A = this chain, B = another copy of it.
Amino acid sequence: MKSFLTLKSVEGVLALIRTFAPLDTEKVPLSEAAGRWLAEDWHAPEDLPGFDRSTVDGWAVHARDVFGASEGAPALLECVGDLSMGKMPGLIIEEGQAARILTGGMLPEGADCVVMVEHSRPVSDTLVELVRSQAPGDHVIYKDDDAAKGALLIPAGRRLRPQEIGLLAALGQTEVPVRRRPRVVIVSTGDELVPCSEKPAPGQVRDVNSHSLAAFCRAAGAEVELAGLVRDDVALLRETIGRAREKADVVLVSGGSSAGMRDHTVDIFTSMPESELLVHGAAISPGKPFILARSGEKCLMGLPGHVGAALVTARAFLLPLLLHLQGGEEKFRPGVRARLTRAMASAQGRRDYVRVRLSRTEEGWAAEPILLPSGLMSGLVHADAIVICPENSEGLYAGEEVWAELLA
């Protein structure tokens, strides 16, 4: 007798995923920090840029000396020198004086603004006409404009993009505290599977999920180990999962294509130390036979054997888990707006993940649903994006504008 599952909603599964503790913190060199998630709030250790700087090439002056200056009524000032980049200015600007300054140069004492070189006319080696009135602070960045010492610059949980790396560099942070990468061990089960380097005999197929899930996990920041293929043998599977659990933060079991083996996976998960079954069946399609358990601090996850279903489930649940373990989250699900080329029916009470191919039309993007069984791989390979048909919907209309989440 097949048992009926009590399907968990997507939101319910995500709430359970957030109950796992983020991994501990490690320090990595700045050059390896990009793409990682900052583990602690980071405050400015000093002012940035640290001194008042010009934002243009021009003349450092007192604003009151160019007050009202114009093409017709230029201000005539004494040139007192060229300021070098990267040095303390060796002079003080007195009333009626101007010094040549370059973009990024340090504003000399006395000066309170910069007139752009475009608004100057040299008169002689020692005299210059300035033809633009400026206010104090014009074309100047003050010493703490970018960051004031002590200010919160990057909050914990932020993913480090090139600009965050730049800010860390600007303030001399050569080591960065980030959450450790999750260690994932992937267990693939099924009597029909052979390694992808082998030629399958009739009735056999090559192991796909190990490779596609490994690529998926690595892209999400994880370190991956393949535990190899396991026959549909309960004792062997239990032993493999137990060993994987020792070294992994997340054990992924993919396969168990037969109904019997799926039940064995649940039994094995619940037999692990300090174990608790959290989810057995999720209200999504494809991906219903999803399993989630906690064993101590470790996470045990069972994904469907069907390739398409495995990747959709990975996107729905494994990605949020891997980011959460790293202290991060998906703030956005990047995508494009698109019009459906045909209607899509959907069952109420479950979230449907419709694979679509995107094409550019004169009115914008068109999303063409790919209607292939989730057991076929080619459907996902043709897909550019996923359109979600929500739980409370019976379907989407042809021509309806939808949000197409890109399959990166």
**Chain A residues in contact with chain B, CB under 8 A?**
2, 30-31, 34-35, 48-51, 53, 55, 57, 84-89, 102-106, 117-118, 141, 145-147, 153-154, 160-174, 190-193, 196-216, 218-219, 232, 257-259, 305-307, 311, 314, 331-332, 334-337, 358, 373, 375-378, 380-381, 383-384, 406-408
Q: Name the B residues within 8 Å of A216 (CB-CB).
A: 162
Chain B residue with Cβ nearest A218: B34
> Are the C-beta atoms of A57 and B258 separated by less than 8 Å?
yes
The 7 closest A-B CB pairs, nearest first, are A334-B334, A166-B212, A86-B192, A34-B215, A163-B380, A169-B211, A106-B203
Q: Name the B residues within 8 Å of A335 (CB-CB).
A: 334, 336
Q: Name the B residues within 8 Å of A53 (CB-CB).
A: 375
Q: Name the B residues within 8 Å of A196 (CB-CB).
A: 30, 169-170, 172-174
A166, A257, A332, most chain B CB atoms within 10 A: A166
Q: Name the B residues within 8 Å of A314 (CB-CB).
A: 162
Q: Name the B residues within 8 Å of A162 (CB-CB).
A: 212-213, 215-216, 219, 311, 314
Taking the full assembly, how many copies of this chain does it contain? Answer: 2
> Are the C-beta atoms of B166 and A211 separated by less than 8 Å?
yes
> Are the C-beta atoms of B332 and A406 separated by less than 8 Å?
yes
Q: Name the B residues within 8 Å of A174 (CB-CB).
A: 196-197
> Are the C-beta atoms of A88 and B203 separated by less than 8 Å?
yes
- Return 8 A-B CB contacts under 8 Å, by A number: A51-B203, A85-B203, A89-B203, A104-B257, A106-B202, A162-B216, A166-B209, A334-B334
Q: Name the B residues within 8 Å of A198 (CB-CB).
A: 172
> Are the C-beta atoms of B258 and A102 separated by less than 8 Å?
yes
Distance in angstroms between the alpha carbons of A326 and B141 in the assembled complex: 40
Distance in angstroms between the alpha carbons of A207 and B373 in the assembled complex: 53
Q: Name the B residues within 8 Å of A305 (CB-CB).
A: 103-104
Chain B residue with Cβ nearest A405: B334
> Are the C-beta atoms of B163 and A212 separated by less than 8 Å?
yes
Distance in angstroms between the alpha carbons of A86 and B358 in the assembled complex: 37
A141, A169, A204, most chain B CB atoms within 10 A: A169
Distance in angstroms between the alpha carbons of A358 and B331 in the assembled complex: 10
> Are the C-beta atoms of A375 and B104 separated by less than 8 Å?
yes
Distance in angstroms between the alpha carbons of A215 and B141 in the assembled complex: 26
Q: Name the B residues within 8 Å of A145 (CB-CB).
A: 376
Q: Name the B residues within 8 Å of A85 (CB-CB).
A: 190-192, 203, 232, 257-258
CB proximity of A136 to chain B, nearest CB, Å: 16
Chain B residue with Cβ nearest A374: B55
> Are the C-beta atoms of A377 and B146 separated by less than 8 Å?
yes
Distance in angstroms between the alpha carbons of A226 and B216 in the assembled complex: 30
CB proximity of A161 to chain B, nearest CB, Å: 6
Distance in angstroms between the alpha carbons of A376 and B145 in the assembled complex: 8
Q: Name the B residues within 8 Å of A407 (CB-CB).
A: 161, 163
> Are the C-beta atoms of B211 and A165 separated by less than 8 Å?
yes
> Are the C-beta atoms of A105 and B192 separated by less than 8 Å?
yes
Distance in angstroms between the alpha carbons of A207 and B167 in the assembled complex: 10
* Besides A104-B190, A174-B196, 14 new A-B residue pairs in contact (Cβ under 8 A), listed by A number: A2-B117, A30-B211, A35-B219, A51-B202, A55-B373, A85-B191, A102-B257, A160-B215, A162-B216, A162-B314, A163-B311, A167-B377, A170-B206, A172-B199
